[in-house]
């Protein structure tokens, strides 16, 4: 009967909820509705990119881990590298050339994540940092979004996508630029991009949004993609993987600023609903900004963090040089996190004003 439990373990003796591995995997699964919508509207390229990016992410992480003499298998199993790869894949244009993905993902994993010390130590959101590096270095390739398939002149198959990503041309020999020419012969841009250029040309908002690339309440196709990520995000909320503060604050802040702007200058501003359901809004609100490592950790801090991101997204879209500001908004706010955390420390028990 003596010495049954030999191991010294400190209390508590049990735990609950998802483990970190499960959390990361759940986030990947929650992307599925968004991925499905994205694939439906933008073709198989989305899936090809996702696979490519995940493989690159895992490889890069494995190499660095073995160089740093850290356990490779156990760490890869935490799913964080896979998630970073996936998030980058979903951010870049589906037919972007393969080396774009390789550079972006490698940068994210090697520089932003591992050189900062690995999981849990990175100041910046790796996926967004990788994305921004790509956007700055290869602005053309990174804004080459195809129009939604439904208004495209050519049908492209899965193999066309693979071929296009790796060689630059579809099996029939079309380049991405050729593919971007829509039925009516106009080169297509994303709704946010389009809006910006058209406003600069002197058109009013209502004239612009009459174009077929805008749907009922967002960009055609984009509204469904956003809806997909919204659904995935709500699932994450329900699973307790993320908490409501950050998505709520982002959406509320973006909506408020859009509404103010729209009510002051309705001719020059994107309608608030289009703001929410275009570009990467929902993706950012539920999947990017909620990355716990680079976000604020206190409750009040998370609300502030989200509100700043929402405001920055609005400002960059409205006044910045880039059509969508999600990545910049997140990275800039990442920088403010230590400060936000410091000033939003909750009052510890017994440290309130003396009774």
Q: Any contact of residue 350 with other proteins (CB under 8 A)?
A: yes
Residue 180 and residue 99: Cα distance in Å, rounded?
Answer: 20
Q: Any contact of residue 72 with other proteins (CB under 8 A)?
A: no
Give the list of residues 6+ apart from residue 305 with CB closer than 8 angstroms, or none.
Answer: 246, 249, 289, 295, 296, 333, 336, 337, 340
Please identify, among the stretches 56-64, 212-220, 225-233, 339-347, the one whose residues bind other proteins according to the rule CB under 8 A: 339-347
Shortest reach from residue 304's CB to other proteins, in Å: 14
- As a dihedral over the C-alpha atoms of residue 188, residue 193, residue 194, residue 197, rounded to 10 degrees, the angle is -120
Q: Any contact of residue 120 with other proteins (CB under 8 A)?
A: yes
Residues 236-265 that bind other proteins (CB under 8 A): 243
User: Interface mask (CB under 8 A) for other proteins, residues 297-326, using x and -?
Assistant: xxx--x------------------------
Closer of 20 and 167 to other proteins (Cβ): 20
Shortest reach from residue 6's CB to other proteins, in Å: 7
Residues 122-161 that bind other proteins (CB under 8 A): none
Residue 192 and residue 232: Cα distance in Å, rounded?
Answer: 23
Residue 189 and residue 199: Cα distance in Å, rounded?
Answer: 14
Q: Any contact of residue 354 with other proteins (CB under 8 A)?
A: yes
Size of residue set near other proteins by CB under 8 A = 49
Shortest reach from residue 343's CB to other proteins, in Å: 13
Please identify, among the stretches 46-54, 118-126, 191-199, 205-213, the one whose residues bind other proteins according to the rule CB under 8 A: 118-126
| Pure H helices in the chain | 20-30, 32-42, 45-67, 72-76, 80-91, 98-106, 126-137, 139-143, 158-167, 176-179, 191-200, 205-208, 222-239, 245-264, 272-276, 281-283, 299-319, 326-343
**CA dihedral (78, 80, 81, 87) positive or negative:** positive
| Residue corresponding to tokens 């992307």 | 31
Q: Any contact of residue 201 with other proteins (CB under 8 A)?
A: no
Q: Any contact of residue 73 with other proteins (CB under 8 A)?
A: no
On whether the CB atoms of residues 295 and 305 are closer than 8 A, the answer is yes
Closer of 134 and 295 to other proteins (Cβ): 295
Task: Kindly list the residues in this chain that would bind other proteins in the complex (CB under 8 A).
Answer: 1-23, 74, 78, 80, 118-121, 243, 292-293, 295, 297-299, 302, 341, 345-352, 354-355
């Amino acid at each position: 009967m003596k010495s049954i439990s030999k191991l010294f373990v400190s209390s508590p003796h049990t735990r609950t909820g998802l483990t970190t591995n499960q959390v990361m995997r759940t986030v990947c699964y929650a992307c599925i509705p968004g991925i499905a919508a994205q694939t439906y509207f933008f073709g198989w390229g989305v899936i090809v990119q996702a696979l490519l990016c995940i493989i690159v992410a895992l490889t890069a992480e494995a190499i660095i881990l073995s160089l740093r003499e850290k356990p490779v298998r156990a760490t890869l199993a935490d799913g964080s590298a896979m998630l970073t790869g996936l998030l980058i894949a979903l951010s870049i244009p589906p037919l972007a050339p393969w080396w774009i993905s390789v550079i972006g993902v490698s940068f994210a994993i090697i520089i932003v994540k591992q050189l900062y010390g690995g999981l849990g130590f990175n100041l910046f959101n790796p996926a967004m940092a990788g994305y921004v590096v790509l956007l700055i270095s290869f602005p053309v390739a990174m804004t080459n979004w195809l129009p939604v398939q439904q208004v495209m002149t050519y049908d492209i198959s899965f193999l066309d996508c693979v071929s296009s990503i790796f060689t630059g041309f579809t099996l029939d020999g079309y380049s991405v630029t050729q593919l971007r020419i829509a039925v009516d012969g106009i080169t297509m841009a994303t709704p946010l991009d389009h809006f910006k250029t058209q406003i600069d040309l002197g058109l009013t908002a209502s004239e612009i949004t009459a174009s077929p690339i805008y749907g009922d309440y967002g960009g055609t196709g984009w509204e469904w993609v956003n809806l997909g990520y919204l659904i995935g995000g709500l699932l994450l909320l329900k699973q307790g993987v993320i908490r409501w503060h950050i998505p709520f604050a982002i959406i509320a802040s973006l909506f408020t600023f859009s509404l103010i702007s729209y009510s002051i200058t309705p001719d020059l501003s994107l309608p608030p609903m289009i703001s929410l359901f275009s570009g990467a809004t929902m993706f950012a609100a539920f999947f990017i900004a909620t990355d716990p490592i680079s976000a604020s950790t206190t409750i009040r801090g998370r609300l502030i963090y989200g509100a700043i991101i929402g405001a920055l997204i609005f400002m960059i879209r409205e006044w910045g040089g880039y059509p969508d500001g999600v990545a910049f908004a997140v990275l800039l706010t990442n920088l403010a996190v230590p400060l936000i955390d410091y000033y939003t420390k909750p009052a510890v028990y017994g440290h309130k004003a003396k009774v």
